[in-house]
Amino acid sequence: MKNGYLFAAYAVTWIIHIAYLGTIVTRYSRLKQEIGALKKTGVRS
Amino acid sequence: MKKLFPIFGALTAILLVYALCMALVPGRMSIFGIPLGEGAPTEQTMGDVQRIFYYHVPSAWTAFLLFFINFGASIYYLATRKSAADIVALVCAEVGVVFCTVVLITGPIWARPVWGIWWTWDMRLTSTLVLWLIYVSYLFLRRFSAGGQTPLLAAALAVLGALCVPFVYFSIWFFRTQHPQPVMGGGGSIDPRMMHALLINWLAFSCFAFLVCWSRYRLEKLQRDVDEAHALESLLDPRGSTR
């Protein structure tokens, strides 16, 4: 059972880090779409 | 600089795996006959659950380091009003909050089997929670305040928040708390193999934090460029703009 706590702590650590990295990737892909739309309107060359 | 990112990323991934092995595998390790050092031994009183320490403490040190950089960048921003300093401050606060969240979650997971309780309102735990709340409020301020003074207000809040960091660190020196005494400079001793595993994990987490900050910095810079382009678009064609 004590090893369960150890596993939980390590798993939670990586779940938090991966979730945060996920938000960065999501924000980046949304920005890429915005940049694509801006390029179409010709504001950003 | 961009080309270095995948190389540094790969090296950090290797270091994180090595640090994980050092934390979890007791005894000598080798790969293809090449010795890789000795992993942390099992602690006699707590057993394997003590190994949470190799993630909990380096995460705390990394969070403190990031809050310290946030403090420096905020002071620099207040003095020079340079946008890059503001971005560094924001990025370090955000990644620091992530690491501080890890600390606040792994701590109770360790405390439950060792103390028999998840949480106690002692000075170290409470001050860490207050520190986390200060930086979460900093991020809320950045996220939901739309005024031009936001970076200035956030920098002022960051300076106040940074004052809390030494208080959190030294709280176990000045107050009688349930939290274990410091592993460095507190008069206690630690097995050198445990110290090695601890420092390797801190190095690995620091490299990982640097990589995440780097990515987040580039994202924030890009976001500001896009916002500027949107503002320009609105100026050029106010009726056709969607924002």
Torsion A13-A14-A16-A21 (CA) sign: positive
Band of residue B184 on the pLDDT scale cut at 50, 70, 90: low
Percent of chain B with pLDDT over 90: 60
Residue B44 resides in a domain: no
Residues of A within 8 A of B98 (CB-CB) are 16-17, 20
Band of residue B239 on the pLDDT scale cut at 50, 70, 90: low
> Cα–Cα distance between B237 and A2 in angstroms, integer?
64
Tens digit of each residue's pLDDT (9 = 90 or more) over B12-40: 999 999 999 999 988 887 777 788 788 89
Residue B205 resides in a domain: yes
The complex scores an ipTM of 0.89
| Res B170: pLDDT | 85
The beta-carbon neighbor of B219 closest among A1, A20, A28 is: A28
Residue B170 resides in a domain: yes
Full residue range of the structural domain in which residue B65 is found = 4-27+56-182+189-230
Cβ of B233 within 8 Å of Cβ of A31? The answer is no
Residue B12 resides in a domain: yes
The beta-carbon neighbor of B101 closest among A3, A9, A16 is: A16
User: Is the per-residue pLDDT at B230 higher than 90?
Assistant: no
What is each CA distance from B227 to A34, A44, B109, in whole angstroms? 10, 11, 42
> Cα–Cα distance between B110 and B180 in angstroms, integer?
12
pTM score, whole prediction: 0.91
Quote the number of domains for chain B: 1
Cβ of A24 within 8 Å of Cβ of B215? The answer is yes
| Res B65: pLDDT | 96
Cβ of A9 within 8 Å of Cβ of B55? The answer is yes
> Cα–Cα distance between B232 and A12 in angstroms, integer?
43
Q: What is the CA radius of gyration of chain A?
A: 19
Residue B46 resides in a domain: no
